[in-house]
Amino acid sequence: MENDPPIVQFCPKGNVLVVAEQSLGQIQPVTLELLGAGRILADKMGKDLHCVIMGYDLGDLPNQLIHYGADVVYVADDEALQYYRTLPYRRVLVDLLDSLQEPPHTMLLGSSTTGRDLAPRIAAHFETGLTADCTELDIGPYEHKSKVDPTKLGLYPNCLYAIRPSFGESLKARILGPWKNPQMATTRPGVMIPLKIDTSRQGQIHNIPVKLNSEDLRLIVAETVKEVSSGLKLTEAEVIVSGGYGLGSKEGFELLEQLANCFNSNAIGASRKVVDLGWIPYQHQVGQTGKTVRPKLYIACGISGAIQHRVGMSKSNIIIAINKDMDAPIFKFAHQGIIGDIYQIVPELITQFKALQNKSALGGKSVVGSR
CB of 291 to other proteins, least distance (A): 10
CB of 192 to other proteins, least distance (A): 17
- How far apart CA 168 and CA 179 sit, in angstroms, is 29
- How far apart CA 106 and CA 95 sit, in angstroms, is 17
Nearer to other proteins, 142 or 201 (CB): 142
Nearer to other proteins, 66 or 334 (CB): 334
- Non-local CB neighbours of 153 within 8 Å, separated by 6+ positions: 5, 6, 144, 145, 146, 147
Nearer to other proteins, 72 or 157 (CB): 157
Residue 330 dihedral angles phi and psi, to the nearest 5°: -60, -30
- How far apart CA 317 and CA 191 sit, in angstroms, is 15
CB of 181 to other proteins, least distance (A): 10
Q: Helix (H, G, I), strand (E, B), or coil: what is residue 129?
A: coil
Burial 252-273 (b: 16+ CB within 10 A, else e): bbebbebbbebbeebbbbbbbb
CB of 68 to other proteins, least distance (A): 19
Nearer to other proteins, 69 or 129 (CB): 129
CB of 206 to other proteins, least distance (A): 26
Nearer to other proteins, 66 or 311 (CB): 311
Q: Which helix (H) or strand (E) holds 310?
A: helix 307-313
Angle (deg, nearest 10), helices 86-99 and 115-126: 40
Beta bridge mates, 239: 266, 297
Nearer to other proteins, 145 or 196 (CB): 145
CB of 272 to other proteins, least distance (A): 8
- CB neighbours of residue 38 within 10 Å: 28
CB of 366 to other proteins, least distance (A): 4
Nearer to other proteins, 66 or 137 (CB): 137
Report the candidate in 60, 131, 56, 64 with the shortest Cα–Cα distance to residue 92: 56
C-beta separation of 298 from 242 below 8 A: yes
C-beta separation of 186 from 131 below 8 A: yes
